A = this chain, B = another copy of it.
Amino acid sequence: MDFPHYFPIWNKLNSNQQNRLLGSLIPKKVKKGTIIHNGSADCTGLLLVKSGQLRAYILSDEGREITIYRLFDRDMCLFSASCMIRSIQFEVTIEAEKDTDLWIIPADIYQGITAESAPAANYTSELMATRFSDVMWLMEQIMWKSLDKRVAAFLLEEASIEGTDELKITHEIIANHLGSHREVITRMLRYFQNEGIVRLSRGTVIILEKAKLEQIQDA
């Protein structure tokens, strides 16, 4: 069990708290595409990613999506345990973007520990502040940045996460990340293609001119 190496404040907990955590952990392997937590469903618990990639998104009444943050190795997801914090009044859905190994920490166990441990409670605040910062960044993007900049920033982010300029991604998926429509994204990508910035083929976007994407992003 290597959980202690992944849990950032392990050494700040007493042995009783450590044992309660270890005794309640649920290790889980999920396949790419699995919905791990559904906004309206029960309180799943906190998720600690061992390896893989998750995304958290919100859904409109009409089924449109927008990605609000992503979680990578060693990241922890708090909002899948929103029952734990009374003041959380919104719902996120968590989906595995890659095959993912994770631990589920039951919400009641974690809540019991934060109730008695200032370090655990402060760690929870820091976690929330990190996601809050992600969301504020996103809001600024949506409010002040036009879609060409957002698509350019998204392609650059994907290339950085995947470590390749040949992205296996559909226009539909890009639209879901950005809260846009497939048709709108297709139009933008074709514009980029006409400018020689990307090459499009079925299910693939190949970045040809990274520098130009960066120019658009920063313009």
Partner of A143, one of B60, B126, B128: B60
A interface residues, how many (CB within 8 angstroms) = 41
Residue-wise interface mask of A (41-63) relative to B, using a CB-CB cutoff of 8 A (1 in contact, 0 not): 00000000000000000101110
A77 vs chain B, min Cβ distance (A) = 14
A130 vs chain B, min Cβ distance (A) = 4
Where chain A touches its partner, the secondary structure class is helix
B133 touching A90, Cβ below 8 Å: yes
Selected interface stretch from A18-26, A81-89, A152-160, A182-190: A81-89
Asked whether any CB of chain B lies closer than 8 Å to the CB of A64, the reply is: yes
Asked whether any CB of chain B lies closer than 8 Å to the CB of A139, the reply is: yes
Q: Can you name the residue of chain B whose Cβ is closest to the Cβ of A134?
A: B89
- Which chain A residues have a beta carbon within 8 Å of chain B's beta carbons? 58, 60-62, 64, 66, 68, 85-90, 114-118, 120-122, 124-133, 135-140, 142-144, 179
